[in-house]
């Protein structure tokens, strides 16, 4: 797929029969997703949001089996909401991307959110569920997600490495102080949350 270079909304919930989640965090999800983006051959990430792109919204998609990553975000102020990254459309089977579910190197992006419809399922990926990496990856929010479980939050569908990895990136937040910001992070093959590297200062893990 072409690299995303400007503000656009990709909304899988416009597909008939698709409905966003209505359960609050940290309960399981009841979203119904009808659009699946899957790699058939070759090497490419599913969606790539370039450094020039801001205001991109991706919601209501199932993204699986890409190599290396499901979503790559190099830009800032973008939003990943209400998706299943690394599972099947039912949210019960591992169909992980070869490396990270979501890889973030830009600033002030939000993965999930405090509203029920914004919550993602990020599970089954063959490296990290979410990796926030590099000194420019600051001010990012990871909120309200299920990371490493099935759609119900009741069974192990772990990412092979960390649920969330913050690698040399400062001042990011996983969770938050309001109930809707809580992530459920469980079942991952290594750490639930890893914060590593000398530049990884000022990060918060809450709720």
- The pLDDT assigned to 42 comes to 85
User: What is the reported pTM?
Assistant: 0.98
If 0-12 CB within 10 Å is exposed, 13-18 middle and 19+ buried, where does residue 110 land? buried
pLDDT digits (tens, 9 = 90+) for 118-161: 999 999 999 999 999 999 999 999 999 999 999 999 999 999 99
Whether the Cβ atoms of residue 59 and residue 15 lie closer than 8 Å to each other: no
- Measure the CA–CA gap between 166 and 76, rounded to whole angstroms: 17
- Measure the CA–CA gap between 100 and 49, rounded to whole angstroms: 15
* Cα→Cα distances 206→177, 179, 182, 202, Å: 6, 10, 7, 13
Tens-level pLDDT at each residue, the chain (207 residues):
999 999 999 999 999 999 999 999 999 999 999 999 999 888 999 999 999 999 999 999 999 999 999 999 999 999 999 999 999 999 999 999 999 999 999 999 999 999 999 999 999 999 999 999 999 999 999 999 999 999 999 999 999 999 999 999 999 999 999 999 999 999 999 999 999 999 999 999 999
């Amino acid at each position: 797929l072409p690299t995303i270079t400007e503000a656009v909304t990709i909304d899988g919930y416009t597909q008939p029969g698709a409905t966003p989640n209505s359960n609050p965090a940290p309960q399981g999800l009841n979203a119904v997703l009808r659009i699946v983006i899957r790699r058939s051959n070759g090497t490419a990430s599913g969606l790539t949001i370039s450094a020039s792109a801001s205001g991109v919204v991706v919601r209501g998609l199932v993204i699986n089996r890409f190599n290396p990553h499901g979503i790559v975000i190099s830009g800032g102020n973008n939003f990943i909401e209400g998706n299943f990254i690394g599972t099947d459309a039912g949210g019960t089977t591992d169909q992980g991307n070869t490396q990270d579910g979501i890889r973030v190197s830009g600033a002030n992006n939000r993965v999930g959110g405090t509203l029920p419809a914004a919550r993602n399922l990020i599970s089954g990926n063959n490296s990290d569920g979410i990796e926030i990496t590099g000194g420019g990856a600051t001010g990012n929010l990871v909120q309200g997600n299920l990371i490493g479980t099935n759609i119900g939050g009741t069974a192990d569908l772990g990412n092979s490495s960390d649920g969330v990895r913050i690698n040399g990136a400062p001042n990011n937040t996983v969770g938050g102080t309001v109930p809707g910001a809580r992530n459920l992070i469980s079942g991952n093959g290594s750490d639930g949350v890893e914060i590593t590297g000398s530049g990884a200062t000022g990060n918060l893990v809450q709720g």
